Every structure is written in structure tokens, then in C-alpha cells.
């Protein structure tokens, strides 16, 4: 059963598809919209509520689609607008909603808006991007550093000014302070809503507005030997996270309210994101949800980290609704970050059990349902500009973007008949979907079982969450709504642990990291390494 008073998105499970790497339908080595359409039955079998589709827009692909050259176009490598319309129609026919990325902080330098903006200081789009004069000595207007390394300012000879870029040089920042820019972005959003999308994930939205005075950022105090880029050497008080952002988000929400049952979720990047997440989602006039990198960049998973993240969302009146992800296209896969190779299968299963038990929305990244580890990508095959710039100090993002393994015995794991844009990792091919489909004890079948339970449970989708005392390395909490009550217990250690009597009340284990439990299964006295369970109590 479901809670009839809650909107579809509250407590939803949302499956992220990275189009380049899902399925190639035409043999060019790059995944596409028709490939996604062919695998909608697989997605629907996961009992998820929606798909989040990463960028497929027209782009020179210097940042693989997050450098948008046309907000209302489909890049030919992914297909056509007609292909997209068919995808929306067939997703909806399977009960799947579809949300897409919107990148509002910057465009590609190949976007026509930027071409017009750089032509002169007096043209109709002169103020659509962030331009500034040099200092008297010719240096950039301030000390801001880009995420991908080096100064955030690039000299443009045509305007005789610097333009601002938080990311790549080829990704100039929009001047979202300008109402005309906001209008244009909302027009693009309306274009997709009219085509049937069910909402948006707003990429790096706290980068969307800059300090109008262009003040210098203060130093962070971090040791350069402890970080990988100059960006981390500053406190980002002025190049991002400005107080005017929520007012723009209210305009986004007002547009979404014109379309029934639409949904919005913000990506909030930064070391201390909770204040912004709450500001972006509070009340009924801003975004529906937000997520950050609490888990995506965490080197270790501990009970303390989970509690610290979840307890910041009390459920108070007017508070927004959180979303959680352990893996995505921007972060190394969690099972490789948190578990040793010997425990990867157990950890993959337990992490699914944990993610789907948290209060909030659960984002599953393609391949999590197979327990995929981080893909191995040799330096000569790297595509990610961040990985190349910081090699070998970071794992980069390519290893999370390797092609989805569909068939264990087919060339390129059944992803493509051509040469894939990133190599297929043999360790991932061994976990291909065809080897797990219908296989008892597989991570894929466990995913299907857990998502079905969550989907039918008002308590797991939208109930309260109460943390319980537990031994070191063990996380325990109740999820409850009215008479429905669950006890969720997880061993985050690589060694077995004894459970105290307080965590073994009268109850019935329904699911564990080993799979579904037979009816009447009692609560265990010991939990194995990287294990856990859900019990009705």
C-alpha cells in the first residue's frame, strides 16, 4: 500500500541513467536515447518511481553534456527530439516518471548566447554572462579559483575583458542575476515540461549566482599537500552560495506548479551544504528536495556519519525533504570506496539495504543494482578533464561512468557493437545483468525485492526515523508511521558483531543483506561483516 496523502516523489526511489554509458543502439560506442528506451523494462523491474536522465542536450562534450550549447536541443550522438518524445511516452506507459538535468550556472562557450555576449559590451546579451575589467596590472579581477584547476577568469580579446567560469574555461558562467537570463532559463524549462518531463534535477545550483562586488575569497587554511586543487584552498564565500539564489528558485517552483505532480531536486556542492539545502527547500514555494555529497565523497562509512547527516533533517514544519545517494556519475562507486575487495558483494547488498531504509528519497545510480565496483580506466583511456588534470591524485569520474554490463559473454558486455567510448572493465562484465537476472542471492534480485518492500511501505517511504543505541560500528534505527514499525540494523564493520538484547526484540526479519527471509524468521544474535536487516517489530 502507499500513503495516499503524500505526493509521488516523497520517499521515491529514483534511478539515475548516464546516457553515454547505458546502452548504445547504433554501434558508435556511445549510449543513446533509443538504447535507454530498449532497457526500460529492466528499469521498471527495479520498482523505482522515476528516472533521472543526465544531460543529452546539444554540446561540444568538453564536460560530457554539462557544457550545454542548446538547452532545447538533443545532441545528435544521443538521437533526436522525436526519440526523446518516444522515450517519455514509453517510460510513462511503464509507470516511470522522467526527470532531467537543468544546468543553470553556466553554458558552453559554443552557446549562441555566449557568442552574442562576447561580441560587444553594448549588445542585447552583453550582460548575460559575468564579465569584468582587469586590475590595473592586467591581472584577473579577483582571486577566485575554478573547480577544475587554475583561476576562474579567462581573458577575451574581443571584449577586452575577463569572463568568469567556475568550471572549465569552456564553461562561462551565466549572469543569473539578470532577469532576462532567468526568463530564458525558465523558457527552456517550460520547453521540456511541455514535452512531458516530470521535473528537474538542478545541477550545481549553488554556483548559479556570484557576488556582485567580486570580492576576494578568504583562504580555507588547508594545506595544499592535503588537497588536489587550488579551489580547495579558499572558502567560497563570494564565487557561489549567494543569498539571492532562493528567490530564483521560487521562480522555478512557480513554473513547476503549473504542471501537475512535477518534482525538483537540487544538487548542492560544498563543505557545509546543510544551510543551503534547507534554504533551497523550505516551505512550499521553493524546491521539493535537495542532496549533497555527504556520502558521495566520504572515504569511510560510519554510524556517526550517517547520524550526522540524517539528524540534520528533523521533519519540523516547513522543512524541506532530503534526498540521498551513495554513488553517481561524479563520484567513485561507494562499494569500492568503503569495502575491501573481499567484501564487495556483502557490502553492495548491505548498502542497498541501508540506502533504501533512510528517511528521504533514494537515488540509485545505474549499476548499483548489480553491485558494480569502480571501473578501472588506464590513464591513456581517461576522458574526464578533472581526472586528467589531477592524475594520479584522484580516482576521477571515468571509473564511475564505464559502460553498463548487460551480457557477460558478448563483446563489450553487450553495451555496443562498436568500440565503447570508455573501456569495459572485465570485473564489471563478470557481474553483468544477464548473470544476475533470476539468480537467487544476486544483488539484482535483492534490489528488486527491497524496492518492492519500500514502495509498499508508508513507514519506509515517509515515516519518522529514530536512531537507537548500538555497539561500535553498528547503525540501528526505527522507521515508523502509525501502527507500522521497522527496526533497521546494519554492521558497517569488516568483522562480525554480537547484537545486544535491546536490538533483538520480538519481531520478524523480512529482508537482510542475504536476501528475503522466510516468514517467521527471528532476529539474529550476531551480524556478519557488512550485513544488516529490516525487521517488522
pLDDT score, position 395: 65
Name which of 251, 338, 267 is nearest 303 in CA terms: 338
d(CA 374, CA 390): 18
Residue 41: strand, helix, or coil:
helix
Instruction: Count Cβ atoms below 10 Å from residue 429 Cβ, excluding itself.
Output: 21
Residue 475 pairs in a beta bridge with: 490
Question: Which sign does the torsion angle of CA 341, 346, 347, 348 carry?
Answer: positive
User: Cβ neighbours of residue 460 under 8 Å, at least 6 residues apart?
Assistant: 11, 356, 357, 453, 454, 479, 486
d(CA 198, CA 2): 20
292-311 residues labelled b (16+ CB within 10 A) or e (exposed) = bbbbbebeebebeebeebbe
CA dihedral 265, 5, 50, 384 (to 10 degrees): 20
Residue ranges per structural domain of the chain:
13-106+177-451, 464-536
> Does domain 464-536 sit in CATH 2.60.40.1180?
yes
Residue 230 near residue 149, CB atoms below 8 Å = yes
Phi and psi based region of residue 218 (left: phi greater than 0; alpha: psi -120 to 50; beta: remaining): beta
258 is known as an active-site residue: yes
pLDDT tens digits in sequence order for the chain, 537 residues long: 344 578 999 999 999 999 999 999 999 999 999 999 999 999 999 999 999 999 999 999 999 999 999 999 999 999 999 999 999 999 999 999 999 999 999 999 999 999 999 999 999 999 999 999 999 999 999 999 999 889 999 999 999 999 999 999 999 999 999 999 999 999 999 999 999 999 999 999 999 999 999 999 999 999 888 888 899 999 999 999 999 999 999 999 999 999 999 999 999 998 779 999 999 999 999 999 999 999 999 999 999 999 999 999 999 999 999 999 999 999 999 999 999 999 999 999 999 999 999 999 999 999 999 999 999 998 899 988 877 877 776 667 999 999 999 999 999 999 999 999 999 999 999 999 999 999 999 999 999 999 999 999 999 999 999 999 999 999 999 999 999 999 999 999 999 999 999 999 989 999 998 877 776 788 999 999 999 999 999
What is the C-alpha R_g of the chain?
A: 23
d(CA 22, CA 416): 10
d(CA 98, CA 74): 16
CATH number belonging to the domain at 13-106+177-451, selected among 3.20.20.80, 1.10.10.410, 1.10.10.10, 3.60.15.10: 3.20.20.80
Residue 484: strand, helix, or coil:
strand
d(CA 529, CA 509): 18
**Residue 88: alpha-carbon gap to chain centroid:** 20
Q: What is the pTM of this model?
A: 0.96
d(CA 65, CA 520): 50
pLDDT score, position 396: 75
The residue from 49, 63, 109, 203 that is catalytic is 203
The residue from 41, 137, 223, 258 that is catalytic is 258
Instruction: Count Cβ atoms below 10 Å from residue 438 Cβ, excluding itself.
Output: 9
Name which of 172, 98, 101 is nearest 132 in CA terms: 172
Locate cell 514499525: which residue? 485
Instruction: Count Cβ atoms below 10 Å from residue 258 Cβ, excluding itself.
Output: 9
d(CA 534, CA 459): 12
- Provide DSSP, 326-342: S-BTTB--HHHHHS-GG
pLDDT score, position 224: 84
Kindly give the interhelix angle for 274-281 and 245-256, rounded to the nearest 10 degrees: 40
Amino acid at each position: 500500500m502507499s500513503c495516499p496523502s503524500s505526493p509521488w516523489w516523497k520517499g521515491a526511489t529514483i534511478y539515475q541513467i548516464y546516457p553515454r554509458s547505458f546502452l548504445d543502439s547504433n554501434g558508435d560506442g556511445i549510449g543513446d536515447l533509443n538504447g535507454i528506451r530498449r532497457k526500460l523494462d529492466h528499469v521498471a523491474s527495479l520498482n523505482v518511481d522515476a528516472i533521472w536522465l543526465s544531460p543529452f542536450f546539444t554540446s561540444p562534450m568538453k564536460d560530457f553534456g554539462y557544457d550545454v550549447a542548446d538547452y532545447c536541443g538533443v545532441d545528435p550522438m544521443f538521437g533526436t527530439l522525436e526519440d526523446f518524445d518516444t522515450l517519455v511516452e514509453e517510460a510513462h506507459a511503464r509507470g516511470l516518471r522522467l526527470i532531467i538535468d537543468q544546468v543553470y550556472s553556466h553554458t558552453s562557450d559554443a552557446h549562441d548566447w555566449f557568442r552574442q555576449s562576447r561580441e560587444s559590451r553594448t549588445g542585447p546579451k552583453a550582460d548575460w554572462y559575468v564579465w569584468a575589467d582587469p586590475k590595473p596590472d592586467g591581472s584577473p579581477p579577483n582571486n577566485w579559483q575554478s573547480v577544475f584547476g587554475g583561476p576562474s577568469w579567462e581573458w577575451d580579446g574581443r571584449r577586452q575583458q575577463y569572463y568568469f567560469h567556475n568550471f572549465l574555461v569552456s564553461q562561462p558562467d551565466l549572469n543569473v542575476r539578470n532577469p532576462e537570463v532567468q526568463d530564458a532559463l525558465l523558457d527552456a524549462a517550460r520547453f521540456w515540461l511541455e514535452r512531458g518531463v516530470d521535473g528537474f534535477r538542478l545541477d550545481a545550483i549553488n554556483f548559479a549566482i556570484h557576488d556582485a562586488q567580486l570580492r576576494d575569497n578568504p583562504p580555507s587554511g588547508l594545506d595544499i599537500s592535503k588537497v588536489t586543487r587550488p579551489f580547495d584552498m579558499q572558502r567560497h564565500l563570494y564565487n557561489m552560495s549567494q543569498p539571492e539564489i532562493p528567490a530564483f528558485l521560487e521562480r522555478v517552483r512557480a513554473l513547476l506548479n503549473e504542471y501537475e505532480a512535477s518534482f525538483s531536486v537540487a544538487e548542492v556542492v560544498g563543505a557545509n551544504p546543510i544551510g543551503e539545502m534547507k534554504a533551497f527547500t523550505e516551505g512550499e514555494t521553493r524546491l521539493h528536495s535537495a542532496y549533497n555529497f555527504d556520502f558521495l565523497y566520504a572515504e569511510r562509512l560510519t554510524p556517526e556519519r550517517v547520524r550526522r547527516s540524517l539528524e540534520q533533517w528533523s521533519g519540523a514544519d516547513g522543512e524541506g525533504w532530503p534526498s540521498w545517494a551513495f554513488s553517481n556519475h561524479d563520484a567513485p562507486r561507494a562499494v569500492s570506496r568503503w569495502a575491501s575487495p573481499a567484501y564487495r558483494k556483502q557490502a553492495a547488498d548491505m548498502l542497498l539495504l541501508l540506502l533504501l531504509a533512510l528517511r528521504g528519497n533514494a537515488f540509485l545510480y545505474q549499476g548499483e543494482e548489480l553491485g558494480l565496483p569502480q571501473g578501472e580506466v588506464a590513464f591513456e583511456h581517461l576522458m574526464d578533464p578533472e581526472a586528467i588534470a589531477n592524475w594520479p591524485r584522484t580516482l576521477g569520474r571515468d571509473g564511475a561512468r564505464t559502460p553498463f554490463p548487460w551480457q557477460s559473454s558478448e563483446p563489450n558486455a553487450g553495451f555496443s557493437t562498436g568500440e565503447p567510448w570508455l573501456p569495459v572493465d572485465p570485473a564489471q562484465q563478470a557481474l553483468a545483468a544477464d548473470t544476475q537476472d533470476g539468480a537467487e542471492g544476486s544483488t539484482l534480485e535483492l534490489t528488486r525485492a527491497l524496492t518492492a518492500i519500500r514502495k509498499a511501505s508508508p513507514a519506509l517511504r515517509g515515516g519518522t526515523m529514530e536512531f537507537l543505541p548500538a555497539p561500535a560500528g553498528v547503525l540501528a534505527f526505527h522507521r515508523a508511521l502509525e501502527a507500522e514499525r521497522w527496526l533497521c540494523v546494519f554492521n558497517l564493520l569488516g568483522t562480525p558483531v554480537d547484537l545486544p538484547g535491546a536490538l533483538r526484540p520480538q519481531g520478524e526479519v523480512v529482508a537482510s543483506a542475504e536476501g528475503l527471509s522466510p516468514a517467521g524468521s527471528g532476529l539474529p544474535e550476531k551480524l556478519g561483516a557488512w550485513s544488516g536487516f529490516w525487521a517488522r517489530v
